[in-house]
């Protein structure tokens, strides 16, 4: 666990977590950080704790001791959001200390008591404050449905620090550099990509609420953004606010100037047309991502579709429906409320087709409002004229996606 000073009396404690499925679903190939913050006045508060895994609370206590904070002297546990990646250690803490107060919203209070049996809770509403002494004053600002209904921002007035919890967070492990001004250009690119993966995998469903949270952040005088996952922004907090605004548009159909090909093929018929599409995209100098189903993981698929301005779905008919792993991926995108994408589908069939019908059903069922270039279906192997039709569809997509590009 790394320990870094953010300001006098404010520290970050951060650990990298790897080899887990985040939320039990998302493979986090590049890990994720769990950030906790200590604010010390005369009283001491810990904002966002850590997960409750074996050995983790003990590591937190040791790290606290190393920055001169006796865990026994922690007065307040500020629970910005009750999800166990932030609060899981609470039950362990109760074993070593019996007098602390949990600070949270009413919605979180119910969760804190049902998950951990805690009752020593002080409920905060919009604008309520907690004076820790020595000039450190925390104020609390609900941001409902920034992931869960219980979430709030905590803001420290004297330093203008926003403890934003999941908001403004990213996947990705941190090395030596934890502050925005220390990041190399490669690390900036890494955390942008990991931010997109985090937003699309974890937060996209709540885009409307995230927009409100962005507006709320704008009402506070922010000098530093200190999220629960990923780097701390002290030089340019506006950067992550702008990134999140842009990501919220990706959730509603905008995207980078790139194409994502989501494809699958049983016996290589649809694959032949995919190869042709790749040649067309290369000829046109269009950047593209290619995800073969079912080999590509959900986390990668959701992120790659989310961030692209143009989507190509290449999948055959299977038992009168769409090739199942591609159908499942589209359903997942629907659950994440990734709407308004510009897309083009083609695929092979044997005798009856059916893929196209299911594609429409998936779009309708999830109210996805994707805009489709007319699909191309071919019997068996694609003939020259089929490839020409596919090429025409791709060229239309490239032309139309210009309206969707937001970099
Ligand atoms: C398990 C299986 C189920 C299939 N179901 C259908 C079907 O319901 N209707 C149809 O027209 N073709 C069906 N086909 C035929 C495929 O759509 C056809 O072979 C197509 O060329 C496969 O393209 P691919 O090689 O890109 O997977 C099925 C093929 C398989 C192997
Ligand atoms: Fe969360
Ligand atoms: Fe989280």
Q: Read out DSSP for 83-124?
A: SHHHHTTHHHHHHH-S--EEEE-HHHHHHHHHHH----EEE-
Q: Are residues 296 and 200 in the same domain?
A: no
Ligand that comes closest to the CA of residue 377: 1
pLDDT at 19 over 90: no
Q: Which of 294, 264, 240 lies closest to 355, judged by CA?
A: 264
Distance 393 CA to ligand 1 centre (A): 22
Of 207, 191, 75, the closest CA to residue 130 belongs to 75
* CA 362 to centroid of ligand 2, rounded, Å: 27
Residue 403 falls inside a structural domain: no
Of all ligands present, the nearest one to the C-alpha of 35 is 3
**211 exposure class (CB count in 10 Å sphere: 0-12, 13-18, 19+):** middle
Query: Is 274 near ligand 1, meaning CB less than 6 Å away?
Result: no
Q: Which ligand is nearest to the CA of 202?
A: 2
Q: Is 381 in the pocket of ligand 1 (CB under 6 A)?
A: no
198/128 same-domain check: yes
Q: Which two tokens stand for residue 238?
A: 């506006």
Which of 46-50, 157-161, 402-406 bottoms out in mean pLDDT, i.e. has the lowest?
Answer: 46-50
Which of 316, 347, 355, 356 is the best mutation target for the ligand 1 pocket, counting ligand atoms within 8 Å of the beta carbon and taking the most? 316
Q: Which domain holds residue 62?
A: 2-250
Task: Give the model's pLDDT for residue 20.
Answer: 87
Q: 112-152, pLDDT tens digit by residue?
A: 999 999 999 999 999 999 999 999 999 999 999 999 999 99
Residue 240 inside a domain? The answer is: yes
At 255, is the secondary structure helix, strand, or coil? strand
- The pLDDT-based confidence of 305 (bands split at 50, 70, 90) is very high
Residues 172 and 31: beta-carbon distance below 8 Å: yes
Give the nearest ligand 1 atom to 320 CA. 8
Q: What are phi and psi of 301, to 5 degrees?
A: -60, -50
**Rounded Cα distance, 202 and 230, in Å:** 14
CATH number at residue 243: 3.60.15.10
Please count the structural domains in the chain: 2
Question: Can the peptide bond before residue 294 be classed as cis, meaning omega within 30 degrees of 0?
Answer: yes
Q: Are 41 and 79 within one domain? A: yes
The answer to whether the CB of 160 is under 6 A from ligand 1 is no
In sign, the C-alpha dihedral spanning 59, 60, 61, 64 is positive
Q: Which of 224, 250, 276 corresponds to the end of one domain? A: 250
Mean residue pLDDT of the chain comes to: 97
State the DSSP code for 293. T
Q: What pLDDT, in 10s, does the model give residues 307-326?
A: 999 999 999 999 999 999 99
């Amino acid at each position: 666990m790394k320990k870094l000073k953010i300001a006098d009396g404010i520290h970050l404690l951060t650990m990298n977590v790897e080899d887990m499925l985040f939320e039990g679903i998302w493979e986090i190939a590049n890990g994720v950080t769990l950030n906790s913050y200590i604010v010390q006045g005369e009283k001491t508060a810990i904002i966002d704790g850590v997960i409750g895994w074996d050995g983790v609370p003990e590591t937190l206590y040791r790290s606290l001791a190393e920055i001169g904070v006796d865990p026994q002297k922690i007065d307040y546990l500020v629970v910005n959001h009750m999800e166990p990646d932030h609060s899981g250690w609470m039950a362990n803490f109760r074993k070593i200390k019996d007098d602390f107060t949990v600070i949270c919203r009413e919605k979180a209070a119910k969760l804190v008591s049902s998950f951990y049996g805690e009752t020593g809770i002080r409920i905060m509403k919009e604008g309520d404050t907690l004076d820790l002494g020595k000039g450190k004053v925390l104020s609390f600002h609900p941001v409902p449905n920034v992931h869960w209904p219980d979430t709030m921002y905590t803001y420290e007035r004297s330093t203008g620090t926003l403890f934003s919890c999941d908001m403004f967070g990213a996947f990705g492990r941190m090395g030596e550099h934890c502050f925005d001004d220390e990041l190399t250009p490669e690390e900036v690119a890494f955390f942008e990509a990991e931010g997109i993966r985090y937003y699309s995998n974890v937060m996209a469903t709540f885009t409307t609420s995230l927009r409100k949270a962005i507006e709320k952040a704008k009402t506070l005088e922010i000098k530093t953004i200190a999220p629960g996952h990923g780097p701390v922004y002290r030089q340019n907090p506006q950067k992550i606010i702008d990134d999140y605004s842009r990501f919220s548009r990706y959730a509603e159909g905008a995207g980078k100037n790139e194409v994502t090909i989501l494809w699958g093929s049983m016996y290589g018929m649809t694959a032949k047309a995919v190869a042709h599409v790749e040649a067309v995209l290369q000829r046109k100098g269009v950047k593209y991502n290619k995800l073969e189903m079912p080999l590509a993981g959900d986390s990668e698929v959701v992120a790659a579709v989310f961030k692209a301005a143009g989507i190509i779905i290449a999948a055959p008919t299977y038992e009168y429906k769409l090739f199942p792993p591609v159908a499942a991926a589209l359903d997942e995108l629907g659950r994440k409320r990734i709407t308004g994408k510009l897309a083009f589908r083609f695929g092979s069939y044997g005798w009856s087709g059916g893929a196209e019908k299911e594609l429409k059903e998936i779009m309708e069922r999830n109210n996805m409002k994707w805009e489709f270039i007319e699909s191309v279906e071919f019997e068996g192997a694609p003939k020259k004229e089929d490839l020409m039709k596919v090429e025409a569809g791709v060229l239309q997509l490239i032309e139309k996606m210009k309206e969707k590009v937001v970099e």
